[in-house]
Structure 1
Amino acid sequence: MRRDIQPNERAFSSKEVAEEVGIATPTVRKYGQILERNGYEFLKDGDRRIFVQSDIESLIALRDTDKPLDDTAKDIVLQQKERLKETVQTDVALPDTYENLPQDPNQLREVLMMLANELAATREMNAQLTNDMSELKVTVSRLQQDHHAISANVGNAAQKTNAKIEKLTNQQKEQYETLLEQEKEKSELLQQEIQKLREEQVKEWRLQNDFNRRLEIVVQSRPKSKWEAILSLFRK
């Protein structure tokens, strides 16, 4: 248990320590874990570390060391144990002081002052914790708002994309149907032209056959002269 903390000593949060030491908040947690791993004692509220000035000095020593962090942490732990030994005598004498409270007004006044300081430090710590919780709630609220905004934007973008895809699909379908109808009309016109050509060809064949028959008849009728026979074809 820590015995080197003064009753009115200020307590710091991890965020405040990070600003004081000039390192990131995750680095504060990392240094705290290294110190605890080597036997360092922190004042704690549950699992949360509460830092005092001596703890800040320990973190600065870790920040500025040229040695491996665990070696420096061991040196810091030895220094803390020495400080704790120096405060043992005072802690042992406190029960006698409480037993003599009704008989010694000066000691009673001193103890009351110490309790008042501890109460003030506790109130300050609670105020800091309250502020940290308020900041955390604000941060969580902002993150939730950002999440909702991002989700809404993604949903709107997806909806717009689907609408564009559907529109393009319909346009392509209409264009395909239009082209198909045009090709069908062209095919029908081509069939009609082909039919006309066939009919004209049949008509030409019939006329040629009729001409050949008449020519044959004229030749067989033995006209007076060849030129007269040919001319008779054109007279008819």
Structure 2
Amino acid sequence: MRNDIQPNERAFSTKEVAEEVGIATPTVRKYGQILERNGYEFLKDGDRRIFVESDITALVALRDTDKPLDSTARDLVLQQKERLEDMIKTDIALPDTDEALPQDPNQLKEAFRYLVNELAATREMNVQLKNDMSHIITTVAQLQQDHHVISSSIGNASQRTNNKIEKLSEQQKAHYESLLEQEKQRTEFLQEEIQKMRDEQQKDWESQNDFNKRLEAELQKRNGNWNWLFSLFKK
């Protein structure tokens, strides 16, 4: 358990540490994981790390080291353990609540000063957490608004696209029907022309057949006299 937090010491969020140290927020999380993997202790609010000045010093050491990160992390863990042990030795020993309070006014004064400082540090940390939560709520609200705007834009674009597709489909359908009607008219015209040709051909065949019959009849009458043949063409 950490006991090296100084009275009224400021607490930092991950984003603030990234800006303070000059590294990316994911790098802060990565360094925190390396430190914890090697035994380093952070203040925690659930799963969320809360950083103080000594933690920032450790992150700077990881940032600037030339050695493997795990090796440097182990050195920092040893330093933290030594610091915590020294703090334990110098901590004010508060009596149990079940025992009588110390009668020494100086000791009482020192104990109350310690409690007041711890309370102030806790209050400042709560203020920082409240500010962070407010920022998160604002960010989430903005993201929801952006999502609504994007969804609306996509919906409107989709509707316009569908309208264009329907309009083009109607135009193509009308054009296709127009072509069909034109083709139908041409087909009817061709059928009429073909029928006329057939009628004229039928008349020619009938005329030829009639001529052949008359020719045959004249041949039978004349019995070889060819003068009559020329008379047929004079008619």
Shorter-normalised TM-score: what interval?
0.7 to 0.9
Q: In 2, Cα distance between the equivalents of 1:81 and 1:221?
A: 149
Q: Does the C-alpha gap of structure 1 residues 48 and 218 become closer, same or farther in structure 2, counting only changes over 3 Å?
A: closer
Tell me, yes or no, if the aligned pair for 1:214 and 1:233 is still in contact at 8 Å.
no
Q: In 1, Cα distance between the equivalents of 2:229 and 2:37?
A: 136
CA shift for structure 1 position 220:
5.5
Aligned AA for 1:18?
Answer: A
CA shift for structure 1 position 214:
4.1
CA shift for structure 1 position 12:
1.2
CA shift for structure 1 position 15:
1.2
1:79-118 maps to which residues of 2 (within 5 A)?
79-91=79-91, 93-95=93-95, 99-100=101-102, 102-104=103-105, 106-118=106-118
Tell me, yes or no, if the aligned pair for 2:218 and 2:228 is still in contact at 8 Å.
no
Question: When you count helix as a share of all residues, which structure comes out higher?
Answer: 1
Aligned position for 2:49 = 49
Q: Does 1:139 align with 2:139?
A: yes
Q: In 2, Cα distance between the equivalents of 1:207 and 1:232?
A: 14
Aligned AA for 2:167?
Answer: K
Tell me, yes or no, if the aligned pair for 1:218 and 1:233 is still in contact at 8 Å.
no
Secondary structure, counterpart of 1:9 in structure 2: coil
TM-score, normalised to structure 2's length?
0.85
Q: In 1, Cα distance between the equivalents of 2:155 and 2:212?
A: 85
Higher mean C-alpha deviation, range 193-202 or range 213-222 = 213-222
Q: In 2, Cα distance between the equivalents of 1:52 and 1:136?
A: 21
Q: In 2, Cα distance between the equivalents of 1:131 and 1:156?
A: 37
| Structure 2 spans left out of the alignment, 5+ residues | none
Q: In 2, Cα distance between the equivalents of 1:95 and 1:84?
A: 21
Aligned position for 1:18 = 18
CA shift for structure 1 position 190:
0.9
Secondary structure, counterpart of 1:66 in structure 2: coil
1:27-42 maps to which residues of 2 (within 5 A)?
27-42=27-42
CA shift for structure 1 position 103:
3.4
Tell me, yes or no, if the aligned pair for 1:215 and 1:233 is still in contact at 8 Å.
no
1:116-155 maps to which residues of 2 (within 5 A)?
116-155=116-155
Q: Deviations over 1:109-150 (max 9, x none)?
A: 443333332222222111111110011011111111122222
Q: In 2, Cα distance between the equivalents of 1:203 and 1:146?
A: 85
Secondary structure, counterpart of 1:169 in structure 2: helix
Higher mean C-alpha deviation, range 190-199 or range 43-52 = 43-52
Secondary structure, counterpart of 2:91 in structure 1: helix
Secondary structure, counterpart of 2:77 in structure 1: helix
| Structure 1 spans left out of the alignment, 5+ residues | none
Aligned position for 1:2 = 2
Q: In 2, Cα distance between the equivalents of 1:227 and 1:124?
A: 143
Aligned AA for 1:173?
Answer: K
Higher mean C-alpha deviation, range 161-170 or range 132-141 = 161-170
Aligned position for 1:73 = 73
Aligned AA for 1:174?
Answer: A
Q: Deviations over 1:28-75 (max 9, x none)?
A: 122112111111111222332221111100011111111111111110
Q: Does the C-alpha gap of structure 1 residues 181 and 12 become closer, same or farther in structure 2, counting only changes over 3 Å?
A: same
